[in-house]
Chains A and B, each alone.
Chain A
């Protein structure tokens, strides 16, 4: 079964510093990968997705992720953290048919002024 690993439940980053959230997946089929963000008391909002094609994917709010098949990774980055980036971030992989998603445990990002 497909699965996702996100290490480090809480990530602290200084305002203006690089944001790096790691995601490793396991999949027996070509993976479709997603990053979602969840702000307090809200649902999940799609940041970006990789299905096929270019391995460097750009998303909303200045985030991007690179699919590396050899490393089974899909790490999320943003060059300069903003206070508004404080939220929980989830990596997800398609699992099985019918577009079901398997989520990682999430990373709670805290931005330090």
Chain B
């Protein structure tokens, strides 16, 4: 058990809809990262938050947004969903922003767009 909790585990929805994925980091971790895993693109970094502030953006679509709340949990919002958004979405956390800090991953949310 990594200590990172993601909910829900599975999400099935239709094109055009909006969903929210939730992540609770390990106790004491200030940094949260979101990744997307798909068959064609592999594991792609989406966005990072540190202590409530956005720190880095990767290959995140404009239809996607995220935030980190004062209690350090994070949410990833996906809107105007398309078939290609079907993927496994991982949240990871680390103690801080230092580059030698390992990231600990949750079990992911599997998003299926019908």
Contacts and interface: CB of A to CB of B under 8 A. Distances in A.
Contact of B99 (A42, A44, A99, A103): A99
A46 B33 CA distance: 15
Interface in A48-94: 49, 51-52, 90, 94
B101 A99 contact: yes
B56 A100 contact: yes
Contact of B102 (A42, A49, A98): A49
Given A44-B105, A45-B105, A46-B104, A98 B42 contact: no
B17 interface: no
Which of A99, A102, A106 is packed against the most chain B CB atoms within 10 Å?
A99
Contacts, number: 66
Contacts of B106: 43
A106 B33 CA distance: 19
A41 interface: yes
A43 B98 contact: no
A51 B100 contact: yes
Interface residues of B, number: 30
A22 interface: no
A36 B2 CA distance: 13
Contacts of B35: 103
Which of A44, A46, A90 is packed against the most chain B CB atoms within 10 Å?
A44
B55 A98 contact: yes
Interface string A93-113: 011111111111110000000
A25 interface: no
A98 B97 contact: yes
B2 A97 contact: no
A43 B108 contact: yes
Contacts of B45: 95, 100-102
A49 B43 CA distance: 18
Nearest to B6: A43
Interface string A2-38: 0000000000000000000000000000001010100
5 contacts: A43-B108, A46-B104, A90-B43, A101-B33, A101-B103
